[in-house]
Amino acid sequence: MIPAPFDYHAPQTLDEAIALLGRLGDTAKILAGGQSLIPAMRFRLALPDTLVDIGRIRDLAYVEERGDHLAIGAMTREHALEAAPVVAASYPLLLDTAKVIADPLVRNKATVGGNLAHADPANDHPATMLAYGAQIIARGAKGTRTIAIDDLFVGLFETSLAPGEILTEIRIPKPGKGSGGAYLKIERKVGDYAVAAVAVQLELAGGAIKHIRIGLTNVSSVPMRAKNAEAALTGKKPTDDVLDAAGKAGAAECDPSADLRGQVDYKRDMVRVLIKRAVRHAVHRAQGGKP
């Protein structure tokens, strides 16, 4: 299948890309790794008049700790996350996630920024970044601004990025002492989207959960946090009863659709199970456990 015809630009700098997007308006789409956009164009689900390929802009691919956060350039490939020592050392939730996105060939091209900006609730990074409480850096004609991840996803395939703005960086707060995280995904086969997946990032203090954020994958039309499950866990010791209550809360508050991956009740139940397992795993890691 061959995509419909389009015009193509490959700017060398961010300023050039922003100027192009300003001139072309919303008939243009940004091409990053292309692993979602190109399939959509082949199926003619996406019919952009123009592609602005940001793949030739230098210095948009990096993963490094800067001050109080981990900075990830928007064009960082998923494989680079898998290979980065800093991710393996301190960001287990992020490493878990990078390992299960699509398949190894796709991860060589797919980008972190694209995974978020596409705002597909079936993508894996939205839940992970919601759990981390990440910040998104966006640049446009009016300058640079910071968007809290909680404010990024506004609809199915829709973000709060303004037309002409480019997502340039993701910032994950450095986990404090006693922190742990985990991403658990049920998929029918390698490369498929999740039946359901759960991202957990938490901090322990005195054996109790001091802070926790939970993101859910592919069980709602907009990437979501399981806030009721978070509330059921915050301030409590992660006993079996507390985990049961949190799993049930998450199952109730998600909003999955029935499809080839399963019926609504099944998906809710998988959310329940995954929340319990992911919280247990995150607690294990927060207590210094490996992996």
Give the interface with other proteins as residue ranges (CB under 8 A). Answer: 1-8, 10, 31, 34-35, 38-39, 41-42, 51, 53, 55, 79, 102-106, 108-109, 190-191
What Å distances lie between residue 84 and 72, 79, 91, 224, CA to CA?
A: 11, 9, 10, 27
Q: How many other CB atoms are found less than 10 A from the CB of residue 257?
A: 14
Per DSSP, 73 falls in state E
- Dihedral angle at the C-alpha atoms of 166, 168, 169, 170, nearest 10 degrees? 20
Beta carbon nearer to other proteins, 40 or 197:
40
CB of 95 to other proteins, least distance (A): 14
CA distance 130 to 133: 5
In sequence order, which residues have a C-beta less than 8 Å from that of residue 33 and are 6 or more positions away? 55, 75, 77, 109, 110, 111, 114
Question: Which residue, 35 or 220, has its beta carbon nearer to other proteins?
Answer: 35
Pairing mode of beta strands 179-187, 153-155: unpaired
Total count of residues recorded for the chain: 291
CB-CB contact of 102 with 191 (8 Å): yes
Nearest to residue 115, comparing CAs of 81, 83, 64, 164?
81
Cα 211 to Cα 75: distance, rounded to the nearest angstrom? 30
Strands 69-73 and 158-159: unpaired
Residue 99 or 211 having the CB closest to other proteins? 99
3 state SS of 289: coil
Sign of CA dihedral 7, 13, 15, 16: negative
> Which residues does 9 contact at the CB level (< 8 Å), separation at least 6?
20, 50, 51, 52, 53
